[in-house]
Amino acid sequence: EAGIPENALVLAAGGPDVGAALIANPAIAGVAFTGSTSTAKTIARALLEDDNRPLVPLIAETGGINAMIVDSTALPEQVVRDVIASSFQSAGQRCSALRMLYIQEDVSAEIIHMLLGAMDELTIGNPRLLQTDVGPVIDEAARANIQSYIDRHFAEGRVLKSMPVPSEGLFVGPTVIR
């Protein structure tokens, strides 16, 4: 309906086998990938190993350290709303999730106070329920990795707040670390 030729866009659902078949196809002239760093490296190696085809461009977005910089002109309520949405919704599992928050010193106490208070309003649980703000992480390896990071900073006295989680499931409580 938008005027794009029918064969211009194709959805090929599947796992590594489908991805490998796509990468091996000599008609593929470029690859844009969003996912894990290890998978991006596998794709890059596969593209480079084929000496019978021209160099294929690869754009890989593998979850960066996304930052927000807040100065004294920012509206604290808007900052807190955006931090909560970007950091904790989707359990922080989006490539665009906020990981680092830099706040100008003279407004940091107020914003941190508001942020910690807003965290008290979050509901952690089943993402199928409308009232849930934060669901589980993708698997046990992710949960253990994130929890280990939190535990290390907790031992160093750097955790400002960490939310309790349900006893069942792959949950990690939203956490603020200084």
User: Cα–Cα distance between 119 and 126 in angstroms, integer?
Assistant: 17
| Known catalytic residue at 110 | no
| Known catalytic residue at 61 | yes
The DSSP result for 103-157, as a single string, is: E-HHHHHHHHHHHHHHHTT--BS-TTSTT-SB---SSHHHHHHHHHHHHHHHHTT
Confidence class of residue 45 from pLDDT cuts 50, 70 and 90?
A: very high
User: Cα–Cα distance between 39 and 62 in angstroms, integer?
Assistant: 9
DSSP 55: P
In the predicted structure, residue 151 carries a pLDDT above the cut 90: yes
**60-87, pLDDT tens digit by residue?**
888 677 899 999 999 999 999 999 999 9
Cβ atoms of 133 and 89 closer than 8 Å: yes
Predicted structure pTM score:
0.70
- Which of 1, 6, 77, 95 is catalytic? The answer is 95
Cβ atoms of 114 and 76 closer than 8 Å: yes
Q: How many CA atoms lie within 13 A of 33 on its CB side?
A: 23
**104-135, pLDDT tens digit by residue?**
999 999 999 999 999 999 999 999 999 999 99
- Which of 1, 6, 61, 156 is catalytic? The answer is 61
Q: What is the pLDDT of residue 150?
A: 96
Residue 123 one-letter amino acid:
T
